[in-house]
Every structure is written in structure tokens, then in C-alpha cells.
């Protein structure tokens, strides 16, 4: 899943990006409000980590513009501003959660997982479809209770499809949310990756919709 990190402090931005990548996300960093507004308004992100104190355009103004233009990516505000009034302003502007600095990276990741789940309509960090279970806290996939060894790319693919189960996801959307900007990959890389995952988890988990993309069906109640 692609996460946009908007933070002008280079050290904090690098630390957050590293933590996100280690947790299975694709992190993209921008350092001023104008670029943040443009990127968030023209590209699709699974989530956004947004600092309020930005050069060129304040983070609160960026968030208001995104929401006014119908951009609905879940947003976690990161800021040194700690007053309750500023927290209220952020939530009222459309933020999904608020984390004051300094913070522990584990809490940032937990809050990010939470707002992503809520935006997808899920309450629990454990998602099950048939015999397959995804545990985001452990970053593991289980088949009939047995942990399955997966590469980072395979884990990203399974996580994205399971969090968006019941919806057909195009190859382009998968590619954007699985590979980083600097990752080189062939045009058929998603097909190859799907094939590898099917060999590990079974062919019935991920359905192909020819000409449209891939689908993990909603579990039958």
C-alpha cells in the first residue's frame, strides 16, 4: 500500500519512511505543502501521514483542500503542536487521527493500521477469508493456522487484496501500491507475483477478472 509522508524534517521523514517500508508499506516522501497538495490531489494513496508545520502551505490548509476536492485517503496528522484546540481543528478539517511529536514509531504504525482498516470498513487487525488469515500486527499470513513464508512483495499483495476484498483491483492499482517508485519491474510482474502467491496459498483465493483485474471474494456468511 502506498503511503504519502509529508514532513519537512528530513530526519523524521527518513525514520518514518524506513519504519513504513519495514512494515510492508510503500513510502513516498514530500517536504512542503504545495507538493503535498499536488501529489495528494492527483495520485491515489492508501494513507497519508501529514505534518501541520510545513513550508509553502500549512498542513491544515493542504488537508482542507484535499477534502474539498473529494480526496478521501485516510490522514494521520503528525505535529509538534499539542494543544487540544489544534487537535480539534485537524479532526474538523478531515483528519482521521492525530499523533503529537515526539512519538514512538510503534504507535504511529498502530494508528496508521487502524485508520486504514476503518477506511476499508474493517475493525480488526486480523482478517480472515476462508482458510486464510492475515494478521497485520504480526505481519504474517496463515493458511489453516499454519504461518506461510512470504516475501515482502507477496505480503504486500495479499494484504492489499484482502483489505479490499469484495472489490476488483486492477493491475495498475496493485502495481502502484506494491512497488516503490524506484523498483524496476516488468509489465507482467503482477501476473508473475499472483502466480507465486497462488502456488503458496491455493488457486481459489485470488480470482482473475479478465480485462479488469483481481478479486479476493467476500467470505460467505
Q: CA of 176: how far to CAs of 2, 76, 181, in Å?
A: 7, 21, 8
Mean pLDDT of the chain: 88
What are the residue ranges of CATH 3.40.50.2300 in the chain?
2-119
pLDDT at 38: 95
pLDDT digits (tens, 9 = 90+) for 179-219: 866 555 666 889 999 999 999 998 888 999 988 999 998 87
Residue 178: per-residue pLDDT? 86
Q: How would you classify the pairing of strands 126-129 and 132-135?
A: antiparallel
Cα distances from 107 to residues 13, 19, 28, 81, 121, in angstroms, run 16, 11, 20, 17, 21
Could you read off the pLDDT of 57-98 as tens digits, one per residue? 999 999 999 999 999 899 999 887 666 677 778 788 889 999
pLDDT of residue 89: 80
Q: At what angle do helices 33-42 and 59-68 cross, to 10 degrees?
A: 20
pLDDT digits (tens, 9 = 90+) for 136-148: 888 899 999 999 9
Record: fold of 126-215? Arc Repressor Mutant, subunit A (1.10.10)
Considering the chain, tell me which residue range(s) the CATH 1.10.10.10 domain(s) occupy.
126-215
How much is the pLDDT for 92?
84
User: For residue range 155-167, what is the model confidence (pLDDT) as tens digits?
Assistant: 999 999 998 888 9
- Phi, psi angle pair for 179, to nearest 5°: -100, 140
Q: Which CATH superfamily is domain 2-119 in?
A: Response regulator (3.40.50.2300)
CA distances from 42 to 36, 39, 166, 176 (A): 10, 5, 25, 13
Alpha helices in the chain (DSSP H): 10-22, 33-42, 59-68, 84-92, 105-119, 152-163, 171-178, 189-201
Q: Is 176 a residue whose pLDDT tops 90?
A: no
Total-model pTM: 0.79
Amino acid at each position: 500500500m502506498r503511503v504519502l509522508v509529508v514532513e519537512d524534517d528530513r530526519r523524521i521523514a527518513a525514520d518514518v519512511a524506513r519504519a513504513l517500508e519495514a512494515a510492508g508499506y510503500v513510502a513516498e516522501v514530500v517536504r512542503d505543502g504545495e507538493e503535498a497538495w499536488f501529489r495528494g490531489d492527483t495520485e491515489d494513496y492508501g494513507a497519508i501521514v501529514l505534518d501541520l508545520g510545513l513550508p509553502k502551505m500549512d498542513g491544515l490548509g493542504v488537508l482542507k483542500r484535499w477534502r474539498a476536492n473529494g480526496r478521501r485517503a485516510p490522514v494521520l496528522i503528525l505535529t509538534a503542536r499539542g494543544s487540544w484546540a489544534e487537535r480539534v481543528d485537524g479532526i474538523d478539517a478531515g483528519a482521521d487521527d492525530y499523533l503529537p511529536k515526539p512519538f514512538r514509531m510503534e504507535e504511529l504504525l498502530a494508528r496508521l493500521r487502524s485508520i486504514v482498516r476503518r477506511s476499508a470498513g474493517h475493525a480488526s487487525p486480523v482478517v480472515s477469508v476462508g482458510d486464510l488469515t492475515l494478521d497485520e500486527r504480526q505481519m504474517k499470513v496463515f493458511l489453516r493456522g499454519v504461518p506461510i513464508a512470504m516475501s515482502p512483495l507477496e505480503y504486500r499483495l495479499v494484504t492489499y487484496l484482502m483489505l479490499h476484498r469484495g472489490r476488483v483491483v486492477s493491475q495498475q492499482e496493485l502495481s502502484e501500491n506494491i512497488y516503490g517508485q524506484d523498483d524496476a519491474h516488468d509489465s507482467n510482474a503482477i501476473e508473475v507475483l499472483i502466480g507465486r502467491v497462488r502456488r503458496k496459498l491455493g488457486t481459489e483465493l485470488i480470482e482473475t477478472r479478465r480485462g479488469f483485474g483481481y478479486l479476493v471474494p467476500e467470505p460467505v456468511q
